[in-house]
Homo-oligomer: A and B are copies of this chain.
Amino acid sequence: MNNFYLIHTCRDSKDRAGELQTPHGLVPTPVFLPVGSQATVKTLTPGELKDIGVTMVLANTYHLYLRPGISVVEKMGGLHQFMAWDGPILTDSGGYQIFSLARLCRINDDGVIFRSHIDGSEHFITPELIIQFQETLGADIIMVLDECPAYDDSFERVQVAMRRTHRWAERCQRAQQRSDQSLYAIVQGGVVPQLRRQSAEYLTSLGFPGYAIGGLSLGEPKRVTLAMIEETVALLPEDKPRYLMGIGSPEDIIEGVASGCDIFDSVLPTRVARNGAFFTWQGRHNIRNAAYSQLEQPIVSNCDCYACRTFSVAYLHHLFSCEELLGYRLLTIHNLSFINNLMRKIRGAILSGTFSSFRDKFLASYQPTDERVRLDQKQKWLKSRSLSP
């Protein structure tokens, strides 16, 4: 079991700073976890993650189960040794991936039968198996198997998924054998406030060491996302870490912190980097823009990341024009550094009791991503869901 200590909370606001103690080291919160689904944060080495200041990474049980297989990771000495990352790891159960990437065949209370998105092979997964897999992988934080509905599913369908998620959470809890891993529950309930509250209350009654908020930012308007986070957080225990799953744009992290969340993860900073997008304190920009072809300065002048310390905007623009892999690496380093610096600033502001003004100042200068772009990015997910209730 990991320990979580709240270092700073405030009567007038919900933002909070804490410390998560894990078998592989201490993680100051709020924290952002870069995503390494396949036991690699895309394009980077573990050493580069350390240089950036990353404290914990996320890997995915669904992906590792399919490739290279749980037994291969076990034979290599577990996930930490396999990917040569000696810091804390959180493994997601893969619930979301089974419901988005894979082709679902059948779901009932026993478990899920799905076909691999890689080779179409059929697999049967249960809550007990998912725990067994995650105990073998050996992450510091592991997640229950959940059923993730789409945001526009009917009330009944969302309710069925939520209830199943609850029963599965109990089975995961009973199946857990290792005491050095923290098992987090996942609150579901779609965009229905009543169900979100039910889910938070029920799972809290089971007594988990941490709670995740799942099934959000899947295409619903941002104000709905925020409302659901608030409904949920209000019913979660104060002294346990709250993990807002799959959310990782600068503006969304800020709002998540303001709502009282502690842990964040998303492919966004690394994925958009490979598409040529980089963060500055003014917003998100694309390095392929012709205006960048002759700029001598770094992409962010006071940024201490390797890319900004070493190369001009013009060089990065050139690398992307030529589709050179080094470009993908350098923008990935920059974006993760940016998010990491953002988390440091957020934590400093919380500790000094100035988070609210930090948030206002940030949001005044940062141009958030267009809502339509955000929705476009989720279309694939929505399209990929095909199971009937």
Residue numbers of A with Cβ under 8 A of B are: 38-40, 42-46, 67-68, 72, 75-77, 82-84, 293-294, 296, 306, 310-312, 314-315, 317-319, 321-322, 324-326, 328-329
Contact = CB atoms under 8 A, between A and B. Distances in A.
A233 B321 CA distance: 40
Contact of A310 (B77, B84, B294, B321): B84
B322 A72 contact: no
Nearest to A82: B315
A322 B82 contact: no
Given A75-B294, A75-B296, A294-B72, A83 B325 contact: no
Contacts of A329: 43, 45, 325, 329
A314 B81 CA distance: 12
A326 B296 contact: no
Contacts of A67: 318, 321-322
B82 A312 contact: yes
Nearest to A315: B82
A326 B43 contact: yes
A325 B44 CA distance: 8
A367 to B, nearest CB: 28
A43 B325 contact: yes
A322 B43 CA distance: 12
**What 3 pairs between A and B have smallest CB-CB spacing?**
A68-B318, A43-B325, A38-B322
A46, A83, A321, A326 pick with most chain B CB within 10 angstroms = A326
7 contacts: A39-B315, A39-B318, A40-B319, A68-B314, A77-B296, A82-B314, A329-B329
Contacts of A314: 68, 72, 75-76, 82
A293 B39 CA distance: 15
Contacts of A296: 75-77
Contacts of A310: 45-46, 84
Given A72-B293, A75-B296, A45 B82 contact: no
A12 to B, nearest CB: 45
B84 A318 contact: no
A80 to B, nearest CB: 12
Contacts of A76: 296, 312, 314-315
A326 B40 contact: yes
Nearest to A328: B325
A83 to B, nearest CB: 7
Contacts of A68: 293, 314, 317-318, 321
